[in-house]
Chain A
Amino acid sequence: MAKRSIIPGFRLTLGLSLFYLSILVFIPLAIIFIKSFELSAAEFWSTVTNPRVVASYRVSFITALCAALINTVFGLIVAWVLVRYSFPGKKLLDAVVDIPFALPTAVAGIALTALYAKNGWIGSLLEPLGIKAAYSPLGIIIALTFIGIPFVVRTVQPVIEDLEKDMEEAAVMLGAYRLRTFFQVILPTLYPALLTGFTLAFARGIGEYGSVVFISGNMPMVTEISPLLIMTKLEQYDYAGATAIAAVMLIVSFLLLLLINLLQWRMNRRMTANS
């Protein structure tokens, strides 16, 4: 397996790493599936297809999808602006993009709630328009958009930096307008990065808890997300029910993780092929 190398420590470092990952991550996660098998197939099925549970999947899925789409559009613009133009305050804008990574989610949750509640700075502006932001699905979308901002920006940014300007030059020489150059020459090369960023933001959005619980209002069937439902079941000591929902969510997460890795592997291959 390992190519003979004079550098020491392969067995030791790999062995310890695998041991650590096993006891901390693999075995605990496997428990979710083992515990799920304690339910009969019929019980499992009726738990995970209960109307309230299905409604929570729908809320989680749709809000995460909307937030990831918003982030794909605006993330592309932010990344583009950060790479291509210079303007006052650019360094600050670039630094601030990482705030959602570093800010505890509970802080984001209460701040966004205060901002978008009826008497909040933005909420009070939306109120006369008949738009209810906090305590509605829109509030969840806002929270998940906040959480997902860095994912698209930071995945697309390096790819824009590496764009060859020869291609754009060629397009201009062939008589293409700027807009057409963008949509037919530049955008297609950004698709893999955009898709990766979108999937990362989407995957994060589906599992997010801290920032959402404050702003969502947590109404069953309307603004109750799946992670919250797991929490509720736990508080009622319904461990089997909580585990069954967790198993469904885990499978979705694994599939998304697989997709992300596939995309990144393809992206790396393309980038190394280009250089």
Chain B
Amino acid sequence: MAGVVSYHRSSHTAVRERHINEAPAVRWLLIGIAVLFIGLMIILPLAVVIAESLKKGAGVYFDAISHPDAMAALKLTLLTALIVVPLNAVFGLLVAWAISKFKFRGKQLLMTLIDLPFAVSPVIAGLVFVLLFGAQGYFGPWLAEHDIKIIFAVPGIIIATLFITVPFVAREIIPLMQQQGITEEEAAVSLGARGFQVFWRVTLPNIKWGLLYGLILCNARAMGEFGAVSVVSGHIRGRTNTLPLHVEILYNEYQFSAAFAIASLLMLLAIVTLIVKAIVEWKEQNQLKRNSPSH
């Protein structure tokens, strides 16, 4: 469901006449409440991560980050994102093409079904793959016979992350492609362009910024997923631990500074994601301005 509301638009504050605006005192009170709420609920937790990670000094911080288990977790996290993001991007583009360029019955239902992984608890997402591929699962005996390990191994982590992040790219680009309509593509086809050429030359340039944001959002969730991965991972150090799971292990062993040091890396990922979002919005606004010079 994240994608449903993450659809961004340009925000602008129009100058409003005084008689339909609030009194200054009310205005500042509301601003105060908003700033206090966001400060208390979002900024303060971020500040805590930094404070706690540096509590025992920079030495402990860098030791935690450069520990072999942390490096292994980082590698696994990167590997997972490297496999998951492109697959879900291809799916997002395919399904967005079908939904935005054609009329067919059941389109609304399909869009709801894409959101399904958002609605399911991450723990349940992990559970389904244990039921399928675990030792007692439906494919368990067959997998054991062929010496293939999915649960408590890397493939399980990748599959569970794949499930969780299915909607991200699709949700970002479907509204965008619907807005663009089909006239440009129709023109391209009537001028003799082939299928993939139409996509590559006409559609992609129009959606590139939205696509980039979808990718980065998908990446953030893929690297940060905890619940689903926790169920299928088995928490084997150096082998099936992703960064978020490594944070949990360190935390449960009361190595708080180390846990927060790894957490600060993941926080950095979130901040980079939001910076990319800001850049994308800025680029989109520029594109809009260029397309409509009268504004």
Contacts and interface: CB of A to CB of B under 8 A. Distances in A.
Interface of A: 1-3, 5-10, 12-14, 16-18, 20-21, 24-26, 28-29, 31-32, 35, 74, 77-78, 80-87, 89, 93-108, 110-112, 114-115, 120-122, 145-146, 149-151, 154-155, 157-158, 161, 165, 168-169, 172, 178, 181, 197, 200, 203-204, 206-210, 214, 226-228, 230-231, 234, 237, 239, 242-243, 246, 249-250, 253-254, 256-258, 260-261, 264-265
Contact of B49 (A102, A111, A226): A111
Instruction: Classify chain B: how many residues form its interface, as a range.
Output: 35 or more
Contact of B225 (A104, A121, A258): A104
Contacts of A10: 98, 101-102, 104
Contact of A107 (B21, B38, B244, B245): B244
B291 interface: no
Given A21-B166, A101-B2, A210 B227 contact: yes
Specify the main secondary structure of chain A where it touches its partner.
Answer: helix
A7 B182 contact: yes
**5 nearest interchain CB pairs?**
A104-B224, A207-B121, A210-B226, A209-B227, A102-B270
9 contacts: A5-B101, A32-B128, A35-B131, A99-B42, A100-B42, A165-B16, A207-B123, A214-B251, A227-B122
Interface of B: 1-2, 4-7, 9, 11-13, 16, 19-23, 26-27, 30-31, 33-35, 37-38, 40-46, 48-49, 52, 91, 94-95, 97-98, 101-105, 108, 110, 112-124, 127-132, 134, 136, 138, 159, 162-163, 166, 182, 185-186, 189-190, 194-195, 198-199, 217, 220, 223-227, 230-231, 243-245, 247-248, 251, 256, 259-260, 263, 266-267, 269-271, 273-274, 277-278
A20 B226 CA distance: 23
Contact of A104 (B38, B97, B159, B244): B244
Given A77-B34, A106-B247, A110-B251, A197 B5 contact: yes
B132 A178 contact: no
Specify the main secondary structure of chain B where it touches its partner.
Answer: helix
A6 B190 CA distance: 8
Given A2-B102, A17-B91, A86 B121 contact: no
Contacts of A122: 40, 44
A204 to B, nearest CB: 6
Contact of A115 (B48, B95, B138): B48
Contact of A99 (B46, B248, B259): B46
B41 A145 contact: yes
A100 B220 CA distance: 11
B1 A204 contact: yes
A61 to B, nearest CB: 13
B6, B159, B227 — most chain A CB neighbours (10 Å): B227
A18 B98 CA distance: 11
A78, A197, A214 — most chain B CB neighbours (10 Å): A78
A105 B128 contact: no
Contact of B104 (A1, A77, A172, A258): A1
A29 B117 CA distance: 10
A257 B127 contact: no
A261 B247 CA distance: 36
Nearest to A199: B1
A34 to B, nearest CB: 9
A230 B121 CA distance: 11
A115 B263 CA distance: 15
B70 to A, nearest CB: 14
A101 B38 contact: no
Contacts of A204: 1, 118
Nearest to B136: A239
B20 A169 contact: yes
Contacts of B120: 29, 207, 250, 253
